[in-house]
Amino acid sequence: MPEYTALTQSDQGPRSTSSTTIAIDDSATKICFNLSNYCFEAPAIDAIEYLTGNLYDTYSNGDKYIGPPTAEREQSWRDLWQHEATMVENWAMPILNRTDPEPYESVKSDGKEGFTAISKVYHQLGCLDLIRQYTWLQAGKYPQHLISLEMQKPADEMRGYINRCIEDLRISLLCYSDMTPLLVTKERDLASGFKVELNSHYKCRNFQKLQEWTNSHGVEHWEKHDEFHQHDRL
């Protein structure tokens, strides 16, 4: 039987409206309530698959995501995060501690009604991509024909986006607090005085399968011609 970590109302932030105790199992695949021992499966549960292996230090070995902007590199990054939104059905909104539907975009698909949502991982990858682009732009090394419309916004507005992205990633890193040991090698780095091995052994979710699930469950896509591609939007 998996162990559960209880999350009460005080853990849910100011928008919590329920005193129901919520529990999340250690594999993060189910969310349970203290009402008749009811559980429901987390979104994309059928696509969650774990892979075990070493995460290699691709910075040292070269990687298609690293380096100055090129058309191919920009597309590789966009392919990571630019996916369709999915649906949170009406009945599931209280589970997310959201009982007032007014602020949220409604959508219907395949006879179901709910609200448009983006998986957190894609938002964060998009933020990381934005920060990457911003560093090259500030260095004056971004080819003019590759600069996106978003990167052409006023400097103060752009800086605000970057700050929000940095804060979101900071909070997420603190939330997950990866405690995997990085072994210190005998080799020394001149700048820091030590060097750690980044080729860590990990058990990771299969990201490709999650992308496939998102594409197959998508309800709308906003990348088409820089506009929303709508599917029975309410």
At a CB cut-off of 8 Å and minimum separation 6, what does 99 contact?
Answer: 17, 18, 93
Q: Of 217, 221, 233, 214, which is closest to residue 106 (Cα–Cα)?
A: 233
State the Cα–Cα distance between residues 183 and 57, nearest whole angstrom: 13
Rounded to two decimals, the pTM is 0.74
Q: Which amino acid is at 193?
A: G
Q: Of 110, 126, 133, which is closest to residue 232 (Cα–Cα)?
A: 110
For 172-208, the pLDDT digits (tens) are 999 999 998 888 988 887 777 788 888 888 889 999 9
For 119-146, the pLDDT digits (tens) are 999 999 999 999 999 999 999 999 999 9
Determine what percent of the chain falls in helix, strand and coil, rounding each to the nearest 5.
40, 20, 40
